């Protein structure tokens, strides 16, 4: 990525930024690369979800740890008005819940 490029670029025909797709799929290496190149770990996709919430919903424990260690805000409400911790409870992800506590 060049300096003049928008790190949080959203293609006009897509609904998610690369970081959102990678977080949802659990592709930690891609998320790390994007964050290391300036992508905001709290950036919201078109639906208002953050990478942290997307990773929590899919149970990607190591990715959740990485995002928290790299600036993801565990107190940032998602577009649905819920905190990340609630998503771990709703999905039954006990280990993620422990990390968030």
Q: Mind spelling out the 3-state secondary structure of 8-70?
A: CCCCCCCCCCHHHHHHHHCCHHHHHHHHHCCCCCCCCCCCCCCHHHHHHHHCCHHHHHHHHHC
Domains and CATH numbers, the chain: 18-100 (1.25.40.20)
Start-to-end CA span in the chain (Å): 35
Rounded to two decimals, the pTM is 0.84
pLDDT digit string (tens) for the chain, length 101 residues: 444 355 555 555 556 789 999 999 999 999 999 999 999 999 998 888 899 999 999 999 999 999 999 999 999 988 778 999 999 999 999 999 999 99
């Amino acid at each position: 990525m060049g300096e003049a490029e928008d790190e949080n670029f959203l293609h006009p025909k897509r609904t998610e930024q690369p970081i959102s797709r990678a977080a949802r799929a659990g592709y930690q290496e891609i998320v790390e690369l994007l964050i290391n190149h300036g992508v905001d770990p709290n950036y919201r996709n078109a639906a208002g979800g953050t990478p942290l919430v997307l990773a929590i919903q899919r149970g990607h424990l190591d990715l959740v740890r990485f995002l928290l260690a790299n600036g993801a805000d565990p107190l940032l409400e998602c577009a649905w008005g819920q905190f990340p911790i609630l998503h771990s409870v709703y999905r039954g992800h006990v280990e993620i819940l422990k990390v968030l506590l």
